[in-house]
Amino acid sequence: MEVKLSRAAKKITSSSIQELSHLSQRCNAINLAEGFPDFPASPHIKNAAVSAINSDFNQYRHVQGLCDHVAKMAKEMHGLDIDPLTDVAICCGQSEAFAAAIFATIDPGDEVILFDPSYETYEACVTMVGGVPISSTAFYVVLCHFCFWDPIMALHIHVPLDPPQWTLDPSKLLRSFTDRTKAIVLNSPQNPTGKVFTKKELEIIAGECCRQNCLALTDEVYEHITYDNLKHISLASFPGMQERTVITSSLSKSFSVTGWRVGWAIAPAFLADAIRNIHVKVTDSAPAPFQEAALTALRSPPEYFESLRRDYQSKRDYMIKLLAEVGFKIDFIPQGSFFIFAELPDNCPLLDVDFVKKLILEAGVVAVPGQGFFNTNLPSTEGSNLSCFYQKRYIRFAFCKSDATLTMAAERLCKLLDAEGHLVLH
Amino acid sequence: MSMLAAQHGAINLGQGFPNFDGPEFVKEAAVQAIRDGKNQYARGSGVPDLSCAIAERFKKETGLVVDPEKEITVTTGCTEAIAATMLGLINPAEEVILFAPYYDSYSATLSMAGAKVKCITLHPPDFSVPIEELKSTMSKETRAILINTPHNPTGKMFSPEEPNAIASLCIENDVLVFSDEVYDKLAFDMDHVSIASLPGMFERTVTMNSLGKTFSLTGWKIGWAIAPPHLTWGVRQAHAFLTSASTNPMQWAAAEALRAPDSYFVELKRDYKAKRDILVEALKDVGFRVFPPSGTYFVIVDHTPLGLENDVAFCEYVIKEVGVAAIPTIVFYMNPEEGKNLVRFTFCKDEGTLRSAVERMKKKLKRK
With CA atoms as reference, report the closest residue to B84 among B32, B44, B57: B44
Percent of chain A whose pLDDT exceeds 90: 71
What type of residue sits at position A290? F
Instruction: Judge whether A349 is closer than 8 Å to chain B, CB to CB.
Output: no
Nearest CB partner across the interface for B250, out of A46, A278, A287: A287
Across the interface, whether the CB atoms of B83 and A256 are under 8 A apart is answered no
Q: What is the mean pLDDT of residues A78-99?
A: 97
CB A75 within 8 A of CB A82: yes
Q: Name every chain A residue with its beta carbon within 8 A of the beta carbon of B104.
A: 281
Nearest-by-CA chain B residue for A45: B34
Q: Domain A2-41+303-414, what fold?
A: Aspartate Aminotransferase, domain 1 (3.90.1150)
Query: How is residue B20 annotated by DSSP?
Result: S
Helical axes B229-242 vs B77-89, angle rounded to 10°? 110
Each residue's pLDDT tens digit, B200-221: 999 999 999 999 999 999 999 9
Instruction: Judge whether A47 is closer than 8 Å to chain B, CB to CB.
Output: no
Instruction: Report the distance separating Cα A37 and Cα A254, nearest Å.
Output: 11
- ∠ CA(A136), CA(A142), CA(A145), 5° rounding? 115
Q: Name every chain A residue with its beta carbon within 8 A of the beta carbon of B205.
A: none
**For B47, phi and psi rounded to 5 degrees?**
-60, 125
Across the interface, whether the CB atoms of B37 and A287 are under 8 A apart is answered no
Task: Reply yes or no on whether the pLDDT at A381 is more than 50.
Answer: no
CB B221 within 8 A of CB B246: yes
pLDDT of residue A148: 30
Each residue's pLDDT tens digit, A300-316: 999 999 999 999 999 99
The radius of gyration computed from the CA coordinates of chain A, to the nearest angstrom, equals 21
Q: Name every chain B residue with its beta carbon within 8 A of the beta carbon of A54.
A: 27, 31
Nearest-by-CA chain A residue for B86: A6
Instruction: Report the distance separating Cα A63 and Cα B264, nearest Å.
Output: 31
The pLDDT confidence band at residue B40, using thresholds 50, 70 and 90, is very high
Instruction: Report the distance separating Cα A159 and Cα A116, nearest Å.
Output: 6
To the nearest 5 percent, what fractions of chain B are helix, strand and coil? 50, 15, 35
Instruction: Give B246's contacts (C-beta < 8 A, 6+ positions apart).
Output: A92, A261, B42, B46, B74, B75, B76, B80, B221, B222, B223
Least confident window among A119-133, A174-188, B350-364: A119-133
Q: What is the mean pLDDT of chain B?
A: 95
Instruction: Report the distance separating Cα B368 and Cα B356, nearest Å.
Output: 20
Task: Between A2 and A340, name the one with better pLDDT.
Answer: A340
Task: Reply yes or no on whether the pLDDT at B154 is more than 70.
Answer: yes
Nearest CB partner across the interface for A99, out of B79, B203, B241: B241
Instruction: Report the distance separating Cα A393 and Cα A205, nearest Å.
Output: 28
Instruction: Judge whether B27 is closer than 8 Å to chain A, CB to CB.
Output: yes
Q: What is the mean pLDDT of residues A67-96?
A: 97
With CA atoms as reference, report the closest residue to B216 among B297, B286, B143, B270: B297
CA distance B251 to chain A (A): 10
Percent of chain B whose pLDDT exceeds 90: 88
Nearest-by-CA chain B residue for A123: B241
Q: What is the mean pLDDT of residues A411-423?
A: 82
Across the interface, whether the CB atoms of A99 and B243 are under 8 A apart is answered yes
Interface of A with B in 77-116 (CB under 8 A): 92-93, 95-96, 99, 103, 108
Instruction: Give B104's contacts (C-beta < 8 A, 6+ positions apart).
Output: A281, B331, B332
CA distance A278 to chain B (A): 8
Across the interface, whether the CB atoms of B143 and A36 are under 8 A apart is answered no
**Beta bridge pairs of residue B119:** B98
Instruction: Report the distance separating Cα A84 and Cα A117, nearest Å.
Output: 33
Strands (E), chain B: 11-12, 72-75, 95-100, 116-121, 142-148, 176-180, 205-210, 223-226, 289-291, 298-302, 324-325, 327-328, 342-346
Largest CA-CA distance found in chain B, in angstroms, rounded: 61
Task: Between A415 and B290, name the one with better pLDDT.
Answer: B290
Query: How is residue B154 annotated by DSSP?
Result: T
Across the interface, whether the CB atoms of B220 and A54 are under 8 A apart is answered no
Nearest CB partner across the interface for A258, out of B40, B43, B176: B40
Q: What is the mean pLDDT of residues A156-162?
A: 78
Instruction: Report the distance separating Cα B346 and Cα B293, nearest Å.
Output: 11
Give CB contacts under 8 A, 24+ apart, made by A75-80. Answer: A77/A223, A77/A232, A77/A234, A78/A233, A78/A234, A78/A236, A78/A237, A79/A237, A80/A234, A80/A236, A80/A237, A80/A242, A80/A266
The pLDDT confidence band at residue A154, using thresholds 50, 70 and 90, is very low
Q: Which helix (H) or strand (E) holds B260?
A: none
Burial A121-136 (b: 16+ CB within 10 A, else e): bbbbbbbbbbbbbbbb
Q: How many CA atoms are closer than 13 Å to the CA of B315, on its beta-carbon side?
A: 26
pLDDT of residue A14: 53
Nearest CB partner across the interface for A59, out of B38, B40, B219: B219
Ramachandran class of A93: left when φ > 0, alpha when ψ lies in -120 to 50, beta otherwise: left
Largest CA-CA distance found in chain A, in angstroms, rounded: 65
Least confident window among A182-186, A257-261, A411-415, B21-25: A411-415
Tell me where in chain A the CATH 3.90.1150.10 domain(s) lie: 2-41+303-414
Interface of A with B in 6-35 (CB under 8 A): 6-9, 12, 14-15, 18, 34
CB A311 within 8 A of CB A385: no
Instruction: Report the distance separating Cα B100 and Cα B118, nearest Å.
Output: 10
Is omega for the bond preceding B336 within 30 degrees of 0, making it cis?
no
CA distance B55 to chain A (A): 22
Across the interface, whether the CB atoms of A34 and B41 are under 8 A apart is answered yes
Nearest-by-CA chain B residue for A56: B21
CB A90 within 8 A of CB A63: yes
Tell me where in chain A the CATH 3.40.640.10 domain(s) lie: 59-298
Each residue's pLDDT tens digit, A131-149: 566 543 222 323 332 333 3
Nearest CB partner across the interface for B238, out of A9, A53, A256: A9
Query: How is residue B234 annotated by DSSP?
Result: H
Interface of B with A in 71-90 (CB under 8 A): 76-77, 79-80, 83, 87-90
Nearest CB partner across the interface for A96, out of B37, B237, B242: B242
Instruction: Report the distance separating Cα B229 and Cα B227, nearest Å.
Output: 6
Each residue's pLDDT tens digit, A238-288: 999 999 999 999 999 999 999 999 999 999 999 999 999 999 999 999 999
Burial label, A175 (beta-carbon count in 10 A; 0-12, 13-18, 19+): middle
Instruction: Report the distance separating Cα A344 and Cα A359, nearest Å.
Output: 12
**Beta bridge pairs of residue A218:** A186, A247
Nearest-by-CA chain A residue for B22: A58
Across the interface, whether the CB atoms of B79 and A284 are under 8 A apart is answered yes
pTM for the whole structure: 0.91
pLDDT of residue B230: 95
Q: Name every chain A residue with its beta carbon within 8 A of the beta carbon of B239.
A: none
Alpha helices in B174-247 (DSSP H): 212-215, 229-242
Instruction: Report the distance separating Cα B54 and Cα B210, nearest Å.
Output: 10
Q: Name every chain A residue with its beta carbon within 8 A of the beta carbon of B38.
A: 259
**HEC letters along chain A:** CHHHCCHHHHHCCCCHHHHHHHHHHHCCCEECCCCCCCCCCCHHHHHHHHHHHHCCCCCCCCCHHHHHHHHHHHHHHHCCCCCCCCCEEEECHHHHHHHHHHHHHCCCCCEEECEECCCHHHHHHHHHCCCEEECCCCCHHHHHHHCCCCCCCCCCCCEECECCCCECCHHHHHHCCCCCEEEEEEECCCCCCCCCCCHHHHHHHHHHHHHHCCEEEEECCCCCCECCCCCCCCHHHCCCCHHHEEEEEECCCCCCCCCCCCEEEECCHHHHHHHHHHHHHHCCCCCHHHHHHHHHHHCCCHHHHHHHHHHHHHHHHHHHHHHHHHCCECCCCCCECCEEEEECCCCCCCCHHHHHHHHHHHHCEECEEHHHHCCCCCCCCHHHHHHHHHHHCEEEEECCCCHHHHHHHHHHHHCCECCCCCECCC
Q: Count how many pairs of residues, chain A against chain B, have C-beta atoms within 8 Å.
A: 195
Burial label, A316 (beta-carbon count in 10 A; 0-12, 13-18, 19+): buried
Site from B25, B28, B34 to mutate, A interface, most A CB atoms within 10 angstroms: B34
Instruction: Report the distance separating Cα B130 and Cα B120, nearest Å.
Output: 8
pLDDT of residue A7: 54
**Beta bridge pairs of residue B120:** B99
Q: How far is CA B321 from the centre of its chain?
A: 30
Q: What is the mean pLDDT of residues B139-154?
A: 96
Across the interface, whether the CB atoms of B35 and A46 are under 8 A apart is answered yes
The pLDDT confidence band at residue A376, using thresholds 50, 70 and 90, is low
Nearest CB partner across the interface for B87, out of A15, A96, A128: A128
CB B107 within 8 A of CB B117: yes
Nearest-by-CA chain B residue for A261: B247
Q: Does domain A59-298 have CATH number 3.40.640.10?
A: yes
Each residue's pLDDT tens digit, B28-37: 999 999 999 9
Interface of B with A in 182-211 (CB under 8 A): 203-204
Nearest-by-CA chain A residue for B143: A4
Across the interface, whether the CB atoms of B89 and A257 are under 8 A apart is answered no
Across the interface, whether the CB atoms of A34 and B248 are under 8 A apart is answered no
Instruction: Judge whether B329 is closer than 8 Å to chain A, CB to CB.
Output: no
Site from A2, A281, A296, A402 to mutate, B interface, most B CB atoms within 10 angstroms: A281
Percent of chain B whose pLDDT exceeds 70: 99
